[in-house]
Amino acid sequence: MTELKLYCTIATQPVVETLIPRFEAEHGCRFSTVWNTAPAMVKRLQSGEHGDVLLLNRAGGETMTAAGRLIEGSQTPIASAATAIAVKAGTRHPDISTVEALKRALREAMAISYSHPDAGGASGIYVAKLLQQWGMEREINAKTRFPPPAGLAAQFLITGEADFAIQQKSELLQVPGVEIVGFLPGELHMVTHFVAGIEKQSRHVDLSRAFIDSLRTSQARAAFVAKGLDPA
């Protein structure tokens, strides 16, 4: 049986993993899948690993293209996700309507959670950069619960270890029992775009292309919307 090696970012995992079984049944293949943040997967690929389909963020796709790893013209926009803030369902929503309100919410929180920037996630890197710019890095990180690499910040909401979590909306919604408060306010609004491409070394180019096409069907688009992503 043909095996497709897929490298897929965790932000799109909730949708992609639900679409794989049908594709496997229709095409008589099976998937070997690596789920991780895009930067972490890029490092692995640069260290010598290879796949058939790479579903990365736009920066990761551009890195792989610049390295000559992707078939020319195979890069395909799939979806995008905005960085958002969530709380445990039924609890008070912090005021995040303005940049100053967000700063106050951060200071007043008992604890927060976001991805550690060293893990490579786009939202974690972005939040860490904002805290540094605001001179709040030491103060806020002293009361921050960081999930493990490729982990979910919202898990600490359910246990009561954090008042609110900041991550891409699709990642926050992977944890049952949370509510989305909203997106980062004003000029802080941050969207990550995800693209899929086919490795030049793939021995299953036609099948890989068919899989990428399956991520852009009406069924797939509806699934992306349901999981907090905006289909391309």
7 close to 35: Cβ distance less than 8 angstroms: no
- Phi (first) and psi of residue 107, to 5 degrees: -70, -35
Closest CA to 163 of 182, 185, 148, 178: 178
pLDDT of the residue at 7: 98
The answer to whether 214 and 64 are in contact (CB under 8 A) is no
Compute φ and ψ for 109, nearest 5 degrees: -65, 140
User: What pTM did the predictor assign?
Assistant: 0.88
pLDDT bucket at 216, cuts 50 / 70 / 90 = very high
pLDDT digits (tens, 9 = 90+) for 115-169: 999 887 889 999 999 999 999 999 999 999 999 988 999 999 999 999 999 999 9
pLDDT of residue 79: 97
Query: Checking phi first, is residue 42 left (phi over 0); if not, alpha (psi -120 to 50) or beta?
Result: alpha
pLDDT for position 157: 98
pLDDT given for residue 140 in this prediction: 98
Q: Which residues are bridge partners to 85 per DSSP? A: 166, 182
pLDDT score recorded for residue 41 = 95
**What are the pLDDT digits (tens) for 51-93?**
999 999 999 999 999 999 999 999 999 999 999 999 999 999 9
